Amino acid sequence: PATVQEKWFAGLYVTKPAIFVVLPFFWIMTGVVSLTTGYGNGIDLMQSTGAGMLSAPTVIAGALADIVVGALIAWRPTARKGLYAGIALSLFYLILGTFLRPDLWNEPLGPFLKVLPIIVLHFVALAILEER
C-alpha cells in the first residue's frame, strides 16, 4: 500500500501544473484589469481613502507590480522570487488596506478575506517548487 508521503506526492504532482498556471494568471490579470476595465473602480477606491492626486499613480503602480509578480512566477528561474514577492505584496495590500479601508473586511464578496487563501497557495507552491 502507498504511504502517506506517496499519496501526498501523487496528489500534488497532478496539482502542481494547475498552481503554476493559476497563480501567474491571477496576478497578471489583476494587473491588466486594474489598467483597463477596473481602472475607474481603482481610482474611486483610492479616492475614498483620501489619496487624492496619488490615486492614479497608485493604481498604475499596483497594477504593474501585480503583472511583474505574475511574470516572475510564470518563468521557472524566477518563480521562487515571484512567489515570495506575491506573499509580500499580498501582505502589503492587506496591511495598508486594513489601515485605509477596514470596511473591506466586512464586504459581502470578501476582497480582503480572499487574499488569505491566495497567500496559503503561494506557500504550497513554494513547498512543491523544487523537483528534487
Please give the model's pTM, rounded to 2 decimal places. Answer: 0.94
Express each pLDDT in 44-100 by its tens digit: 999 999 999 999 999 999 999 999 999 999 999 999 999 999 999 999 999 999 999
Task: Give the per-residue SS3 of the chain.
Answer: CCCHHHHHHHHHHHHHHHHHHHHHHHHHHHHHHHHCCCHHHHHHHHHHCCCHHHHHHHHHHHHHHHHHHHHHHHCHHHHHHHHHHHHHHHHHHHHHHHHHCHHHHHCCCCCCCCHHHHHHHHHHHHHHCCCC
Assess whether pLDDT exceeds 70 at residue 1: yes
